[in-house]
Amino acid sequence: MNPVVTKNIARFISIFLIQVLVLKRIDFSFGSFDYVHLLIYPLTILLLPIKTSRAIVLVIAFIIGILIDMFYNSPGVHASALVFTAFLRGFILNILEPYEGYNTDDSPTIETMGIGWFLSYFSILLFAHCLWYFSVDAFSFVYFFDIALSTIFTFIPSILLILVLQLLFKPKY
């Protein structure tokens, strides 16, 4: 089996287990203030090699989203958000493409692309993911204030956790 595929499968399994076994159980609610959630599962899609075809990324996103939905008892909400994020991924990669282009085997990590590029890429896509997720979860813009608070208070700790994970584990692929 291709080593890139093996590493991505191992990364998926570890991120999936951390998300559903650890982060799902962490409760940051303070009375009626329950807007803080930790989401790291978008890493599985966002760290795929840059030249992965869009169709494959969308199918993988749907499968991972459905698996997350099974554990969160939220039919289709995580799948919808992850497919939306996977769809935007190609556009954001094109916008942020360096002048010299991407290498064929590059994955968008801090080590390969640099911390500035990584933060731009992940911030845009994670914010879009959170906004889409909470919009679909509420299913009405009547709750605009709750959607905005949930998006902001989920985005900030999630991006910090993702940054810490990237700095700790520095994958070399």
DSSP 155-170: HHHHHHHHHHHHHHH-
47-95: pLDDT as tens digits: 998 888 999 999 999 999 999 999 998 889 999 999 999 999 999 988 9
Structural domains in the chain (count): 1
pLDDT number for residue 1: 65
Is the pLDDT at 173 greater than 60? The verdict is no
Is the pLDDT at 113 greater than 70? The verdict is yes
Provide, rounded to the nearest whole percent, the portion of the chain with pLDDT above 70.
92
pTM to 2 decimals? Answer: 0.89
Q: Has residue 28 been placed in a domain?
A: no
Over residues 16-40, mean pLDDT: 80
Q: Which domain holds residue 159?
A: 3-23+34-169
Using an 8 Å Cβ cutoff, are 132 and 10 in contact? no
Q: Has residue 29 been placed in a domain?
A: no
Over residues 139-156, mean pLDDT: 88
DSSP 124-156: HHHHHHHHHHHHHHH-SGGGHHHHHHHHHHHHH
170: left (phi over 0), alpha (psi -120 to 50) or beta: left
The residue with tokens 């009547």 is 142
pLDDT number for residue 7: 84
Q: Has residue 130 been placed in a domain?
A: yes
Residue 31 amino acid letter? G
Q: Has residue 63 been placed in a domain?
A: yes
